[in-house]
């Protein structure tokens, strides 16, 4: 975990995937969009689910709900991320919040609250004093998903 990197961010995006609350550095996010349609490709290896057209660009879609929680995300929004000159969309159910990180929200839990995302977690925050939210690296999630596909 690198709390300093996350703490230096201007904003954190808090979002819901498969009923779980996660966060990401806003600097990794190109935009958040409602998607109108998904061209599903059944032969793609999970977590890739298909493609969508966004502003004339083809966006490769990932369902990290399947990747982490073995549960499909039922959302109709995507977090768009640019990685290696490609556009990726991470399917989410909703944006929960956009917050400014303050030093007092970072915590070090005794044990991982969401062990499924531990390898991608940069830091943990206390969100509204009710929940512990892992801040994940979207870039590392895309790298891991892409490397699994290329190993086929």
pLDDT at 19 > cutoff 90: yes
Q: 47-92, pLDDT tens digit by residue?
A: 999 999 999 999 999 999 999 999 999 999 999 999 999 999 999 9
Q: Quick one: average pLDDT of 87-113?
A: 88
In sequence order, the 6+-apart residues with CB closer than 8 A to the CB of 118 are: 112, 134
- Residue 139: per-residue pLDDT: 93
Residue 68 CA to residue 141 CA, distance in Å, equals: 10
DSSP for the chain, written as a single string: --HHHHHT-S-EEEEEETTEEEEEEGGG-SEEEE-S--EE-TTSPTTEEEEEEETTEEEEEE-HHHHHHSS----SEEEEEEETTEEEEEEESEEEEEE---GGGEE--SS-SSGGGGGGEEEEEEETTTEEEEEE-HHHHHHHHHHHHHT-
pLDDT at 103 > cutoff 80: yes
The more confident residue out of 10 and 109 is: 10
Q: Give kind and range of the element (H or E) at residue 14.
A: strand 12-17
- Per CATH, the architecture of 3-150 is what? Beta Barrel (2.40)
- Residue 148: per-residue pLDDT: 63
Ranges 30-44, 89-103, 105-119, 136-150: which has the least confidence: 105-119
Q: 110-128, pLDDT tens digit by residue?
A: 666 778 888 898 889 999 8
The β-bridge relationship of strands 20-25 and 131-136 is parallel
């Amino acid at each position: 975990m690198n709390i300093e990197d996350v703490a230096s961010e201007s904003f954190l995006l808090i979002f819901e995937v498969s009923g779980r609350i996660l966060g990401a550095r806003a600097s990794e996010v190109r935009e958040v969009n409602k998607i109108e349609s998904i061209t599903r490709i059944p032969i793609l290896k999970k977590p890739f689910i298909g493609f969508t057209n966004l502003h004339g660009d083809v966006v490769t879609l990932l369902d990290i709900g399947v990747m982490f929680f073995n549960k499909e995300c039922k959302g109709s929004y995507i977090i768009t991320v640019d990685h290696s000159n490609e556009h990726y969309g991470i399917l989410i159910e909703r944006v929960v919040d956009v917050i400014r990180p303050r030093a007092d929200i970072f915590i070090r839990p005794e044990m991982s609250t969401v062990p499924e995302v531990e390898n991608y977690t940069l830091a943990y925050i206390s969100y509204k004093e009710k929940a512990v939210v892992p801040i994940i690296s979207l870039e590392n999630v895309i790298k891991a998903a892409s490397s699994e596909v290329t190993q086929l």
